């Protein structure tokens, strides 16, 4: 095997089938798949053992008690038979040439890290909030342009939902910090940059995020990410509180404070998720409202009940 594809999953019974089926359509097929089941309480393990969904010839499945994504990814990497590790989350759908692009990159750029693009994409008739999430992901990723770029401190971005690294380099860096349950990919990329490792981003290497979340769940996710970065700063203050600080204070003038005060409450979250009256507004205005609600409750007033 030339590539080991690593997928952590926790209660991913409704998601794991899609990514495994997408891997069967890859243009590059010389890879094994290692799925780590992180203490799931649903029927994820049973689905993985059912061969009617996908071929199991290259599939390795192991299970452990729930310890978080950093631990399950590290343990999966230890089982890899290849020296090239490609990581995806269980709710990602990589495009058909994704693994091929990871593989070819490392043939040329040895001892480097490659981050792939992560876009939101949903099928069928979806709530307006998910259309907003699709728009957001495209907007965020557009800043990197359309060519492979070498990342630096000011534009550092690596997501463990779609990235690759040699097994040797991964463990030379110490793997993911197992004290973290989130933001472990950010921490790994910072440690790599500090050691002079080249980190690339390929906007054309796309995997689609396919997790159907509500506005409320998305805000909760934003809060978790904020807390995760606080923990990173507490664990490594010399590195993160000054040099690579992510939780920057949002400065609000008087008018912005009033706007956030009005929209950053659970009433608007309920409306968005249940009876979205904002759909009658032009897209630009309603997307601005969604952004204010999410930013207000996810980053500014993180202790406000939702």
Which pLDDT score, from 0 to 100, does residue 168 have? 97
Reported confidence tier of residue 162, pLDDT bands at 50, 70, 90: very high
Examine the pLDDT at 161 and tell me if it is beyond 80: yes
Reported confidence tier of residue 286, pLDDT bands at 50, 70, 90: very high
Cα gap 159→180, rounded to integer Å: 15
> pTM of the prediction?
0.93
pLDDT tens column, 210-220:
889 999 999 99
Contact 226, 300 (CB under 8 A): no
Question: At a CB cut-off of 8 Å and minimum separation 6, what does 203 contact?
Answer: 117, 141, 144, 145, 146, 147, 148
Query: Where are the CATH 3.90.550.10 domain residues in the chain?
Result: 3-127+145-209
Contact 216, 267 (CB under 8 A): no
Reported confidence tier of residue 50, pLDDT bands at 50, 70, 90: confident
- Helices and strands (H and E) in the chain: how many: 12, 9
Cα gap 248→154, rounded to integer Å: 14
Which pLDDT score, from 0 to 100, does residue 52 have? 65
Cα gap 250→291, rounded to integer Å: 14
Examine the pLDDT at 197 and tell me if it is beyond 80: yes
Examine the pLDDT at 102 and tell me if it is beyond 80: yes
The hierarchical CATH code for the domain 3-127+145-209 is 3.90.550.10
């Amino acid at each position: 095997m030339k590539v080991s594809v690593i997928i952590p999953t926790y209660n991913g019974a409704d998601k794991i089938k899609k990514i495994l089926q997408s891997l069967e359509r890859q243009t590059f097929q010389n890879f094994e798949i290692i799925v780590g089941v992180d203490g799931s309480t649903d029927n994820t393990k049973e689905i993985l053992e059912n061969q009617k969904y996908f071929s199991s010839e290259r599939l390795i499945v192991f299970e452990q008690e729930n310890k978080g994504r950093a631990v399950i990814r590290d343990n999966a990497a230890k089982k890899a038979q290849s020296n090239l590790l490609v990581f995806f989350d269980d709710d990602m759908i990589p495009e058909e040439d994704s693994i091929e692009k990871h593989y070819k990159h490392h043939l040329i750029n040895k001892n480097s890290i490659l981050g792939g693009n992560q876009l939101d994409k949903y099928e069928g008739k979806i709530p307006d909030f998910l259309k907003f999430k699709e728009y957001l992901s495209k907007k965020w990723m557009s800043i990197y342009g359309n060519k492979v770029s070498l990342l630096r401190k000011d534009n550092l971005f690596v997501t463990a939902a779609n990235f690759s690294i040699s097994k040797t380099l991964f463990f030379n860096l110490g793997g993911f910090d197992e004290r973290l349950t989130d933001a472990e990919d950010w921490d790994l990329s910072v440690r790599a940059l500090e050691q002079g490792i080249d980190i690339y981003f390929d906007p054309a290497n796309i995997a689609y995020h396919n997790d159907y979340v509500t506005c409320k769940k998305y805000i909760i996710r934003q809060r978790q990410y904020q807390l995760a970065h606080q923990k990173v700063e507490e664990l490594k203050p010399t590195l993160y509180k000054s040099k690579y600080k992510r939780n920057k204070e949002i400065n609000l003038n008087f008018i912005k404070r009033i706007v956030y005060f009005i929209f950053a409450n659970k009433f608007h979250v309920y409306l968005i998720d249940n009876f979205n009256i904002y759909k009658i507004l032009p897209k630009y205005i309603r997307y601005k409202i969604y952004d204010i609600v999410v930013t207000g409750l996810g980053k500014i007033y993180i202790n406000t009940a939702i």
